[in-house]
Amino acid sequence: MTVPATPFGSATGPRRWGRAQDRSVTDPYKRTKKLHEPTVCPQCGAVYHEGRWQWRERPAGAHEELCQACHRINDAFPAGVVTLTGRFVDAHRDALLHVIRRQEELEKPEHPFNRIMNIEEAPERVVVTTTDIHLPHRIGRALDSAFGGELDFQYDEDGYFLRVDWRRDD
- Does pLDDT of 128 surpass 60? yes
Q: Are 63 and 39 in contact (CB under 8 A)?
A: yes
Question: Residue 32: its pLDDT value, please?
Answer: 83
Rounded to 5 degrees, φ, ψ at 144 are -60, -40
- Alpha carbons 123 and 34: distance in angstroms, whole number: 45
- Does pLDDT of 70 surpass 70? yes
- Does pLDDT of 14 surpass 80? no
Reduced DSSP (H G I as helix, E B as strand, rest coil) percent helix, strand, coil of the chain, to 5: 25, 25, 45
- Alpha carbons 131 and 142: distance in angstroms, whole number: 18
Question: Residue 4: its pLDDT value, please?
Answer: 34
pLDDT digits (tens, 9 = 90+) for 133-168: 999 999 999 999 999 999 999 999 888 999 999 999
Rounded to 5 degrees, φ, ψ at 120 are -110, 125
pTM equals 0.84
Query: Which residue segments constitute the domains of the chain, with CATH numbers given?
Result: 76-167 (3.30.70)
Determine the residue type at 9. Answer: G
